[in-house]
Structure formats: structure tokens, C-alpha cells
Amino acid sequence: MTRGPERLVLLGHPLGHSLSPRFQNAALAAAKIPLRYEAMDVDPAAFEDVVRALRAQRAAGNVTIPFKERMRDACDALTPLARRVGAVNTFWIEDDDCLVGDNTDVGGFDAAVLGLLDERPRDLVIGVLGAGGAAAAVLAAVETWPGCSAHVFNRTPERARLLCERFSSVAQPVDDVGVIAGAQLVVNATSIGLHDDGYPLDPRLIAPGVPVVDLVYRPGETAWVRAVRARGHRACDGLPMLVEQGALAFERWFGVAADRRVMWESLST
């Protein structure tokens, strides 16, 4: 990509909770790039029309729930990682007007776990709650961790089975949530806790000392993260993953490093 984007957007529905504009605009200002990153709450019925309009404007941006799979289908080309995950959260227009989709959620999750554990995961069994696009990003990261494997639980067992078929070298479905609770790293890849204080898994079931990652983020952290931390677990919500995937997306759009310090500082003001 030699020409930079002429517009930057986040596509999703709903978007009232998103922090992405705050830290992306801080990164743009730090890099002296004269653009603004804007959130677009898109009516699902209008998604394809919106994408066509953004193509004409040479826009780039991010995609969040519920459009990651639809953006995958709308793209002319996918990076190998986006194809592997089956979802697009980052897009841009190449000079030949090709709409390209990538997935920076994988790198964001990998960085969040590294920050939580202070080391690269190795020889761990990961318990994954959920079987959607976020869970696929988790499994794509697990594939790169030496000696690691995953158990996947979903309220709809068929979805867990289909996801694990795609990642059969490292993942297998389970029908007992207790298996997840007994893993060596527990990950919530569902949306439970996004709009309320619901728990995806009873904190009392998680084995002592097991680290926990919640891909959901809310102001002041999710209730589940607070609860598991109160029981002595190392835990983080989805904010580290969000910021890192945003920094990686910034680097795809502009070919320069994002100022992560400035991005984090923007969230503390």
C-alpha cells in the first residue's frame, strides 16, 4: 500500500461503548497524520451499501461486532491470517482499488496474554468459552504457541465442533464447562459481560492460580475480571487486546509504528 487512506472509520453495531476513536485519534495526532478516526454505527441492513461508499472514499478502518464475517466476504483479498480466522477486523484499499482484509485481533490477543503471563505461553492447556470470531482469533494464536492446545465450550455444541474442526491440530470441543474451569489459562471469548455484570463462568470453579483473560472490556473492567482477581487470579479484560490490535491496524494503514504510549495515555484522561 503506497497511498494512505483518505478516511478512517470503525464499523459496528452498536458502538456506544467503543474506545477505539479515543486512542486512534491520539496516535494520529502523535504521528502528525491529518485524519480523524470516526465510529460509524451501521444498520445491519445497510452494511454492504456502506462498504461500497467507503471504497469510493478510499477509506480504511476497523470492523467489530457483528460485521467481521460480512467484511471478510466483502473484501477482494484477504491476508493469510484473516483467511485462517475467517473474520476481518482491519481493512484498507490498495493502489489498484483492491479492498484488503486482515485480522489484527490475533496479534492483539497474543500481546495481551504475553503481558499477563510475562512470558510466551508454552505447554499449556487453554480453556476457551465461545465459538465465534473472537474464539477463532484465540485459536489462531494458540496454534503459534509451542506445545499448547485448547478445549472449547459453547452453549451451542455444534458451533464448538465446527470451530474445532478448523483448528483440529490444537483444539477439541468439550461439553462440560468444568473442563474449561480446569484449564491452565481460561479465556472468555463470548460477549457475556459486555452489557451487564454477567459471568461467563462461575469464578469459584476456576482452579486456583489459573490466569484469566476476558476479551470483553468495560469501563472499570468487567465484573468477571474483578471477581476472579478478588479470588487471587491474575486477570485482564479485553483492553490490552483492543489497544494492541488497534496499534497493529495503524501500522497496516500507514506503514509506520503506532505510539502505544500515547494510545494508552489517551485512555487515562
pLDDT digits (tens, 9 = 90+) for 116-127: 999 999 999 999
Q: Name the strand (E) or helix (H) holding 212.
A: strand 212-214
Let me know whether 134 and 203 are in one domain: yes
**Residue 146, domain CATH:** 3.40.50.720
Number of residues in the chain: 269
Let me know whether 49 and 78 are in one domain: yes
CA atoms of 9 and 20, how far apart (whole Å)? 10
Q: What is the pTM (predicted TM-score) of this model?
A: 0.95
Kindly list the distances between the CA atom of residue 207 and the CA atoms of 25, 78, 177, 181, 201, in Å, as whole numbers in the listed order. Answer: 40, 39, 13, 6, 12
What is the total count of domains within the chain?
2
Let me know whether 55 and 125 are in one domain: no
Low-confidence ranges of the chain (pLDDT < 50): 1
- Can you give the pLDDT at residue 151? 98
11 belongs to a structural domain: yes
**Residue 17, domain CATH:** 3.40.50.10860
Domain extent, residue 203, equals 106-237
- Can you give the pLDDT at residue 1? 43
2 belongs to a structural domain: no
Let me know whether 71 and 110 are in one domain: no
> How many CB atoms are closer than 10 A to CB 195?
12
1 belongs to a structural domain: no
- Can you give the pLDDT at residue 195? 86
Catalytic residues: 68
Residue-wise pLDDT for 196-232, tens only, equals 999 999 999 999 999 999 999 988 899 999 999 999 9
Strands 149-153 and 125-129 come out as parallel
Cell matching residue 120: 510466551
